[in-house]
Amino acid sequence: MSAASGRAAGDRGLALLLAGWGLIALGSLWLRPLWPVDETRYASVAWDMWLRGDFLVPYVNGEPYPHKPPLLFWLIQLGWAAFGVNDWWPRLVGPLCALAAVPLLLRIERLLRGGRGASPWILFGTLLFAGFVTLTMFDLLLADCVLAAMIGVLELSGGERRAGILWLGAGIGLGVLAKGPVVLLHVLPAALAAPWWASRLRARALRWYADLGLGVLLGAAIALAWAVPAGLAGGEAYRRAIFWGQTAGRVADSFAHREPWWYYAPLLPLILFPWLVWPRLWKALRELFAGPPDPAARFLLAWLLLALAGFSLVSGKQAKYLVPELPAFALLAALALERARSAPRRWEMLLPLAGFVALPAFLYYLRQAPGVPGAAHWAASIPRWPLALAALGAPLLLAVAARPALEQLRALAVAMLLAIAVLLVGVVPAVVPYADPRPAAAVLGRLERGHVPLAHLGKYHAQYNFVGRLRVPIEILDPPEVAAWVAAHPGGRVLTVERRRQAGEGSAAPEYQVPFRGAWLQIWRGPALLMARPELR
């Protein structure tokens, strides 16, 4: 087969892979709701901004929302402006961001070495990325911005000064608008290390760093075009939060998700499954770095490892923070596998195969023993067929165990696609009744339309505002405030979240209760709540 025909076959295969992910994205619209608390909260922020007609300052439940910049909310509102307010458009933003990563990846491949298009297969076959494809979150959007900025870094290193500064500045500026100045931690370490991975830059290091500075200044100008007027409009507390709390304050002393520096190390085999447990990749990487220094390999290694080191030093940590580094891993793995010389061996597919079998085996264990401490209530509702299908289908990977490396990686990527499809169709419907905000949101929507005041006891994440199309904020109460609120709103309702179902009847029972995320959501008439919980009087 000629190189041209092989590339055409690869393009057709990639198109089919992306079509498969498109079907999963469309299927998720029917098979699951917006998941609380993150997806529902972000949709509620966009909804609140839409109701206010204020596209400058994000709001949630009637209050300024300084925790995230507005780019994701703008994209949601752009779709609503085109198609009307609906549930499906916010759910398609994530898949579209995942799709947008493909041309950006392929451009980086061409800038590095004229690659053969393997990196999108690896990216979509990586567990963490696959898990985010259908989610309404910021991380895939930020990954696109980081990819754009890295195109700028490579254009600059190749002497394309104008294009490089524009790409770098646009990537950084949009990245700030996507998730804040954290984009710099994804981009700048590798850019600052450029004289190591591109030896030709050592003779003009001063010019290099000056151009990087211009790109950063352009990015800052793009971000400040929103941040300055938003800070003035949002008030002092909002201004302080977006200019300090989301930058140095979060790096130095995270207000959430604080973890030790080694947090990511034990998670990497899961985050990068199946590739990190595939011996074939390790052999290819060893061959790649055993040879003469390769600028492309060094660039990708600097991007991946320096960002990982930076996020290990930041106090707040979550696995999703590494999503923008997954393209770097995909590009590095593709580079190594495309240049692999050693012959494949059948046993190298055994560890990935075992990983694909492990999840259905674990879910089957939970299904058979739902009384195990910590086991989810929904586990007993999982049907047997998806677990059997996943477990019996995984050994088919052995059929490609002796094939060339690129064919094996495509088979693993397809296996990830099929595994996610089986989970979505077979397992997710068992979870939905325990994590669906729609039934409670419908009740709250009817109450609001009847002009009934609503309040929530304790922390509230706005999980019902958009789903129920609520137009009035739900008042948030601390326990000492409940009695006074009930006295001022005798016909009002108070939402509570309790670990156990309320067994009372009559005047001491909630008006409505439903299982929700391992607890019970309860809607009370005020007097009934005070009767059932005397400590609130």
* Predicted pLDDT at 114: 65
CB 7 within 8 A of CB 116: yes
What pTM was computed for the model? 0.94
Please compute, for residue 377, the number of CA atoms within 13 A of its CA located in the half-sphere on the CB side: 12
pLDDT value, residue 339: 86
What confidence score (pLDDT) does residue 258 get? Answer: 79
pLDDT tens for residues 249-302? Answer: 444 444 456 789 999 999 999 999 999 999 999 999 999 998 888 999 999 999
Give me the pLDDT at residue 344, please: 79
Q: How far apart are CA 253 and CA 255, in angstroms?
A: 6
Q: Is the peptide bond before 37 cis (omega within 30 degrees of 0)?
A: yes
The Cα-based distances of 363 to 67, 88, 368, 369, 515 in angstroms read 35, 29, 9, 10, 21
Helix runs in 242-371, H state only: 248-252, 268-271, 279-290, 295-313, 326-338, 350-368
Distance CA(86)–CA(78), nearest Å, equals 12
Q: For 189-205, b where at least 16 C-beta lie within 10 A, e where not — what string? A: bbbebbbbbbeebeeee
Task: Supply the pLDDT for residue 23.
Answer: 97
Residues of the chain under the 70 pLDDT cut: 1-10, 114-115, 245-257, 370-376, 504-507
First to last CA, the chain: 80
Max alpha carbon distance in the chain (Å)?
83
pLDDT value of residue 438: 95
Amino acid (one-letter) located at 39: E
pLDDT for 500 equals 85
